[in-house]
Structure 1
Amino acid sequence: MPTTLFRRAAQADVAAIVALLGEDPISAARQAGIQVGPEAYVQAYQAIDADPNQLLAVAEEEGEIVGTLQLTFIPGLSRGGAWRGQIEAVHVSSARRGSGVGAAFLRWAIETCRARGCKLVQLTTDKRRVDAHRFYERLGFEGSHLGYKIKLD
């Protein structure tokens, strides 16, 4: 079993992260019809990396990127002024699903939020990802809210 390293993504990881997003059918469908060059992803990475309340992370095994997620640290007035961690864009390589990498990555993300002083960790997941729902529940997440989105052009 290879050793997995969880770390902040580097700009050199962007192509591998985009490839991970593309191997997922739901994520790929969201990208359908969007024509952008690699510079758009590099600019997005640079904006994320420059923001102290953002952490784009990767899971790496033997030099290969096998997972990614993004953490956002959100200050708020509710819960006594508590910070919360928002986990988004969780993807693990299809070849590594079921190996424990995803669970270890989420535990790492939760501990990273705890180290930043967060009192709550939350995430959203597509309603169609039934297996992911079970996965998150096994890790202790509760389906406590209903989320809404609106697409802006």
Structure 2
Amino acid sequence: MSDFRIRRATADDIPDIVAMLADDPLGARRESPDDPAPYRAAFETLDRDPKQRLVVAVRDGRTIGTLQLTLIPGLSRRGATRSIIEAVRIHADERGSGLGTRLIEWAVEESRREGCVLVQLTSDATRTDAHRFYERLGFEASHVGFKLPLV
């Protein structure tokens, strides 16, 4: 599993990232890979923000995984910075290979390097396999999440 590298995403990676986001039942309902404009605009915002880390895992020029890490400074926990891991996706051909573990380990280490005291993530309630995966990596289900759609 060491034959890949994790690097910051570029605009050229957008189609591959969006394809991975859309490659499951939830993503298929939420994503529109045929309309790249909103993804390009979002990428530009992410790319300018020093608190965002949108990364891809690449092997032999092929994007095989992605995640977004967001650093959030705050007043709670004595002025602590925390990080949030979002949009973890592994290419269908790579699932079960250990790549997801390596991406999460990268995000945790990057969070430590940035001085974070806590790493958080959310996972849709229907993604029970993902919940078991995160628990195996030491994450604990500790909160109840709420969402309010605005569009």
TM-score tier (shorter): over 0.9
C-alpha contact 2:64 2:90 (8 A) present in aligned 1 = yes
Task: Give percent identity, aligned residues only.
Answer: 52
C-alpha contact 1:73 1:83 (8 A) present in aligned 2 = yes
Deviation track 1:82-133 (CA, whole Å, cap 9, x = no partner) reads 1000000111111111100000110001101111110100000000000000
> In structure 2, the residue corresponding to 1:118 is in which secondary structure?
coil
CA RMSD of the aligned region, Å? 1.4
Residue 89 (structure 1) aligns with:
87
Letter of the 1:52 partner, please give it. P
Q: Select which of 106, 119, 132 maps to 1:121.
A: 119
Alpha carbons of structure 1 residues 96 and 36: separation in structure 2 relative to 1, 3 Å:
closer
For structure 1, list consecutive stretches of 5 or more residues without a partner in the other structure: none
> In structure 1, the residue corresponding to 2:94 is in which secondary structure?
coil
Letter of the 1:23 partner, please give it. D
C-alpha contact 2:22 2:33 (8 A) present in aligned 1 = no
Give distance in 2, aligned partners of 1:19 and 1:36. Answer: 10
Letter of the 1:74 partner, please give it. I
Q: Select which of 139, 146, 149 maps to 2:147.
A: 149
Residue 26 (structure 1) aligns with:
26
Indicate yes or no: 2:25 matched with 1:5: no
Shift >6 Å, 4+ stretches: none
Give distance in 2, aligned partners of 1:75 and 1:47. Answer: 18
> In structure 1, the residue corresponding to 2:97 is in which secondary structure?
coil
> Shift of residue 2 of structure 1?
6.3
Indicate yes or no: 2:45 matched with 1:47: yes
Report the TM-score when normalising by structure 2.
Answer: 0.95
> In structure 2, the residue corresponding to 1:56 is in which secondary structure?
strand
Residue 134 (structure 2) aligns with:
136
Deviation track 1:3-48 (CA, whole Å, cap 9, x = no partner) reads 12111101110111011111121111223xx697312211110000
Give the count of matched residue pairs.
151
For structure 2, list consecutive stretches of 5 or more residues without a partner in the other structure: none
Alpha carbons of structure 1 residues 35 and 57: separation in structure 2 relative to 1, 3 Å:
closer
